[in-house]
Chains A and B, each alone.
Chain A
Amino acid sequence: AQSVSQHNHHVILSEAASLELGCNYSYGGTVNLFWYVQYPGQHLQLLLKYFSGDPLVKGIKGFEAEFIKSKFSFNLRKPSVQWSDTAEYFCAVNTGGFKTIFGAGTRLFVKA
């Protein structure tokens, strides 16, 4: 069965530190990839997505992610985090059907 693994369940960083959240999926075919974010008290919202083309995609608020097909990975990065980036981040994969599979999420806490 297809699955999505997020390696870190909790991450604590100080402001200005760099961020990388890991995401791996298990599927050998074509995928569409997403990162969603849920800020405290808010709805899940899209951070960025990859469908095709340049494997380095840029999203809102300075986030980017790189699709590495050979590693089945889609890691999320940000060079310098802010306190306002405190949130839960979900990686998600769609393999061509109606179903999107989400990872378990990573809770990021940024210390001011």
Chain B
Amino acid sequence: GAGVSQSPRYKVAKRGQDVALRCDPISGHVSLFWYQQALGQGPEFLTYFQNEAQLDKSGLPSDRFFAERPEGSVSTLKIQRTQQEDSAVYLCASSPTASGGWTYEQYFGPGTRLTVT
């Protein structure tokens, strides 16, 4: 079946521009996660949705980062006024259960590589 998809796969933004990154989770998956992966590092948790409810946004690095999942399926991560330090791969993952990453594995998408120039 279809896995997690993300678009665009690559995004180049000039410093100060706003960007929107899209995630299509596996159909029916309750949990959705966003991660930021800097070069040479592991994924770092940004935020978690259970259906349309954003239950944990403790990893969002600043108020320039905003995520939504209005109908409990597709999610968008928006970064306003991008800075060079925002350059990274942004990963989306989904999981079929409502317990976050505690009791089930996560299925990852291919990521969006964001480069801020």
Chain A: residues with CB nearer than 8 A to chain B? 4, 9, 32, 34, 36, 43-46, 49, 51, 90, 92, 94, 96-105
**Complex Cα gap A44–B4 (Å):** 11
In the complex, A92 Cα to B93 Cα: how many Å? Answer: 14
Further pairs besides A98-B33, A98-B48: 4, Cβ < 8 Å: A92-B42, A98-B31, A99-B100, A100-B100
Within B39-78, the residues touching A (CB, 8 Å) are 40-45, 48, 55-56, 58-59
Instruction: Kindly identify which residue among B45, B93, B108, B111 contacts A101, using a CB–CB cutoff of 8 Å.
Output: B45
Is A43 a contact of B108 with CB atoms below 8 Å?
yes
Within the assembled complex, what's the spacing in Å between the Cα atoms of A30 and B58? 21
Chain B residues in 8 Å Cβ range of A43: 3-4, 108-111
Q: Distance in Å from the Cβ of A78 to the closest Cβ of chain B? A: 19
* Contact of A99 with B56 in the complex, beta carbons under 8 Å: yes
A49, A96, A98, A102, most chain B CB atoms within 10 A: A98
Q: 1/0 contact trace for B80-99 toward A, CB 8 Å?
A: 00000000000101000000
Contact residues of B: prevailing secondary structure: loop
Q: How many residues of B contact A (CB 8 A)?
A: 29
Question: Are B43's CB and A102's CB within 8 A?
Answer: yes
A17 to chain B, nearest CB (A): 25
Chain A: which residue is nearest B43 at the CB level?
A: A102
List 22 A-B pairs, Cβ < 8 Å: A4-B42, A9-B40, A32-B101, A43-B110, A44-B93, A46-B106, A90-B43, A92-B42, A94-B100, A97-B100, A97-B102, A98-B31, A98-B45, A98-B102, A99-B100, A100-B106, A102-B35, A102-B44, A104-B40, A105-B40, A105-B41, A105-B42
